Structure 1
Amino acid sequence: MKVEKFIGIVEYSGAVFGLAIVQSILCTITAYLLFCIIYHFKKSFTTAWFGFGMYVVLIIFSGWTGIVYSDAMGLIFPTLIIWFYQNRNKFNKYIVWPSIALLGYWGYRIKPQIFIVFIAIVMITCINFILKPEKWKKVKINFGVISLVLVVLFVSSTTYKNLPERMGYKLNPNLETPIYHFLMMGFNEAKNGGYYVYDVKYTLSYYGVEEKKEAIITRLSERLQQYGPKRVAKIMRKKALSIFNDGTFAWGFEGGFYREVFPTDNPFSLFLRSFVYNGEYEIEEGNHYHITKTVQQIAWISCLILMVIKAIRIKSDDEEDDIYSVLYLSILGLFLFEMLFEARARYLYTYIPLFIMIGSMGMYDLCYFMNQLISKKD
Structure 2
Amino acid sequence: MKPETLAIHASNLVKSATGDVTPPISLSTTFFRDEEGGYPGGHMYSRVSNPNRSALENTLAQLEYGEDAAAFSSGNTAGMSLFQALKAGSHIIAPDDMYWGFKKQLLTIFEGILTFDFIDQTDLNLVKASIKPNTRLIWTETPSNPLLKVTDIEAIATIAKANQITMACDSTFASPILQNPIRLGADLVMHSSTKYLGGHSDILGGILVTAKKDELWERIKNVQQTGGAVPSPFDCYLLTRSIKTLAYRMKGHCENGKKVAEYLNEHPQVEAVFYPGLESHPQHEIAKKQMKDFGGMMSFLVKGDVESARKAVNKVKLFAQATSLGGVESLIEHRFSVEGPDSKTPKNLLRISVGLEHVDDIIADLAQALAFS
Q: TM-score range by the shorter chain?
A: under 0.3
Give TM-score scaled by structure 2 length: 0.28
Choose between structure 1 and 2: higher helix proportion: 1
Query: TM-score, normalising length from structure 1?
Result: 0.28
Larger RCO (CA under 8 A, 6+ residues apart)? 1
More strand by share: 2
The structure with the larger Rg is 1
